[in-house]
Amino acid sequence: MEQTNGNLSIPLTCGKCGSNNSVFVHNLTSTTRCRTCRAIVTPVAEPVCVGASSIVDLLEGAKVPVLAVFFDLRSGPCRVAAPDVNLLAHKVGGRALVVKVDAGACPELAIACGAHSFPYFLLLKGSERMLEHHGAAPETEMRRWLQPVTQSDGCLRPSRMAGFIDRYMRLLQGAQTMFWPWIRSGVRVQST
């Protein structure tokens, strides 16, 4: 993904026609429509590379938790962790935002955030620091960090909602087959 360079929008490529769509920072985790072909453009499912000037705009506009990964291109552990960071961004797209910050390009920001060794992971929800971790970590561990802050507050996520509807429909079909002969024959059950 391209760097934002201080702008409030990030280019997302349409999977259908390949055109670039500028998406505002506060809409990064929601589905939008392509301006050219009107196809649905999914939320960001890859790490967003940001600089010192644009991370403030990104953190202020984000509606979901942000996992900031401070890395150094010359660091071996950063190169080892890079595929796991990309996989995590793909799996949590829409529920969290994974941001990569090049500490070599903006060392002041890395020092201000407390990154003294790389990779450095900083989990933010709003302006609150939820977690800090120095060193590489596998994708499963990073997903475990995000799990408490990405869980919904009592509302059902689409996958859980589909399971709920499926169980409800099976229950209704079972009740219909069980009571249908009585209803058809006109037998009425009276309560006592």
pLDDT, one tens digit per residue, over 113-151 is: 889 899 999 999 887 899 999 999 999 999 999 998 877
**What is this structure's pTM?**
0.71
Is it the case that residue 69 has pLDDT exceeding 90?
yes
- Residue range 46-150 forms a domain whose CATH class is alpha beta
pLDDT above 70 covers what percent of the chain?
Answer: 74
- Contacts for 121 with CB less than 8 Å, ≥ 6 apart: 67, 68, 69, 70, 131, 132, 133, 134, 137, 142, 145
Angstrom distances, CA of residue 127 to CA of 56, 140, 179, 192: 10, 25, 56, 61
Of 129, 15, 19, nearest to 65 (Cα)? 129
